[in-house]
A and B are shown apart, each in its own frame.
Chain A
Amino acid sequence: MSEIKIRPSNPYDFSPEELSELAEEIRQEDPTVEVEVDSLPEQGYGVTPVEVIAIITATGGSVAAVKETAKAAQTAINWMRKRWQKDKEKAVGPPRRRTVRILYGPDGDELKSVTIDEPDGSPEEQSGGHPEEKTK
């Protein structure tokens, strides 16, 4: 069984209800995954224009664990894409860029980073994201 943490970069970007919704969607995709929301409190200044969420896996690199993490990451990407589309339809001004970062282990080594942006919100894999997009 994989253990996955969901951690927003900015605690003010997502309500607890929204994060619970994402956790539930990941569980529904794969009931064997243990999902925990891990939102850290604000520590000073650091808002970025990008809405960032990290999917952190602490489980070892077995084939099953890698598959489970990839599935959870895809769920998070789809969820963020829906947020982006809703934002584009309703918001005044351009929608905020979204990034999903997939991290591994206690030091948070980045496995992958996917960005959702204009013109159509298609997810794009990034290599070496902007330092300001990094998650606590």
Chain B
Amino acid sequence: MPADTRAPWDPPEWLGDPVATWLAARAISDEPEVQWTFPIFVWRAVAVSPTGLDFGYEFLESWEETTAALLVQRHVHESGFGGSFNLHLSFGMRVFDSTLRSTTGRLALPEPSEHFRGRHWVSAVAWDQTKDEIVFPNSWGFRWGDGGVGYIREEYFNAHVDSVILNRPTWMGSSPAMDEKMKTLAWRRGTPGQIDQDIYAEAWHTPNRIKAKTVMLNDGQHDIRRRMLYTFAKGLPFDIVEIREGEDLRGRLHLVHDLQSRLSTATELWVPPSSRRGGYGTYLLSLAEELASGVSSQRLRFLLHEADAGELGRGRATAFAESAGLQWTWNSTSLPVTVGYAQKTIPEDNL
């Protein structure tokens, strides 16, 4: 594999031209005319590409998970891999007057009288363990902060960060294939069951192959492609599935299985606008049920992200849930930002 000379914080190569990707992201959102948008549309825009299944996105839920991911990012980079081989982290946060005027880049909790100025998205590039702060290059120019660089501590993170997305390669990295490789490496070293940093880094680039099958949908041949992973943060089984007709993406599903609580959660079920009303969402739902049954989950849940919960999106989501016999619950969460979920109980005879 080629030696990588990029810094760990360089934008992933697969993101392509950031401005073009941002425009593509807006185009697939429900409100393409607005300037602001949600980063999940950026990752969906990447997912649309023919190699979209090579990359995944998952939501982190805490400071601990985010800093752990940044450590792994650094270790993977130090082991000679980066760019498309590595993780990329970004997060969204609420900002205030003092944030906008910072001359040090260190985000301070706002005074009660300070104005809220909206939400902002940045990439996280490192965790400075000595100062216990996450380093982020801001997009506000060199006049802001520490020459354009900012620092966030746990206190601000817990109070004002509302979303963290980890982008990762799916063709390598944390997966059942990597798990097997780590066990093999530990056994070969004469320390079975002991996974250290070196073994983790070496096993990181174990190929994670695609499982594929062909089905007929809408009188046309479609490929169903699946990659089995583990979630980065909690190590839960994580399926990413896509439907393609030729090179065209018709739908994508991310399904995380919590084996302890026997709950499978679709953190992503997305059908591109041009493919809607073609039965792809319904097909992905039945596939989710099949995969959830396969790991003995008793419940299947579909999250509605804030990004999909505009005027159009709410109606679409609730109508879909109703037609599929799912029970709808409005419930706002942060990390990730969701506004509700649809759920069904998996019949015992399916298990």
Contact A93 B102 (CB under 8 A): yes
Contact A42 B101 (CB under 8 A): no
B30-67 CB contact bits vs A (8 Å, 1 = yes)?
01011111110000000000000000000000000000
Interface residues of A in 38-82 (CB under 8 A from B): 40, 42-49
Count CB-based A-B contacts (< 8 Å): 74
Contact B103 A44 (CB under 8 A): no
- Measured in the bound complex, the distance between the Cα atoms of B117 and A40 in whole Å is 14
Inside 8 A of B120's CB, which chain A residues have their CB? 45-47
Inside 8 A of A94's CB, which chain B residues have their CB? 101, 103, 143
Q: Does A10 contact B (CB under 8 A)?
A: yes
Closest approach, in angstroms, between the C-beta of B338 and any C-beta of chain A? 14
Contact B37 A46 (CB under 8 A): yes
- Measured in the bound complex, the distance between the Cα atoms of B306 and A9 in whole Å is 21
Contact A12 B35 (CB under 8 A): no
Contact B35 A49 (CB under 8 A): no
Q: Does A27 contact B (CB under 8 A)?
A: no
B134-167 CB contact bits vs A (8 Å, 1 = yes)?
0000011101100000000000000000000000
Inside 8 A of B92's CB, which chain A residues have their CB? 45
- Measured in the bound complex, the distance between the Cα atoms of B138 and A47 in whole Å is 11
- Measured in the bound complex, the distance between the Cα atoms of B121 and A136 in whole Å is 17
Interface residues of B in 97-119 (CB under 8 A from A): 97-98, 100-103, 115-119
Contact B36 A131 (CB under 8 A): no
Interface size on A (CB < 8 Å)? Answer: 24
Contact B100 A96 (CB under 8 A): yes
Contact of A92 with B101 at beta-carbon distance under 8 Å, contacts A43-B37, A136-B35, A136-B36 already known: yes
Contact B121 A45 (CB under 8 A): yes
Interface size on B (CB < 8 Å)? Answer: 32
Choose from B34, B102, B103, B310 the contact partner of A136 (Cβ within 8 Å). Answer: B34
Q: Does B284 contact A (CB under 8 A)?
A: no
Inside 8 A of B35's CB, which chain A residues have their CB? 9, 46, 134-136
- Measured in the bound complex, the distance between the Cα atoms of B31 and A10 in whole Å is 16
Contact B101 A44 (CB under 8 A): no
Contact B119 A44 (CB under 8 A): yes
Q: Does A13 contact B (CB under 8 A)?
A: yes
Q: Does B69 contact A (CB under 8 A)?
A: no
Contact of A44 with B36 at beta-carbon distance under 8 Å, contacts A12-B116, A12-B117, A96-B100 already known: yes
Inside 8 A of A42's CB, which chain B residues have their CB? 36, 118-119
Closest approach, in angstroms, between the C-beta of B341 and any C-beta of chain A? 20
Across the two chains, which residue of chain B brings its CB closest to A91? B101
Indicate the member of A40, A42, A48 with the most B CB atoms within 10 Å: A48
Closest approach, in angstroms, between the C-beta of B38 and any C-beta of chain A? 4
The 3 closest A-B pairs by CB, nearest first: A46-B36, A93-B101, A45-B121
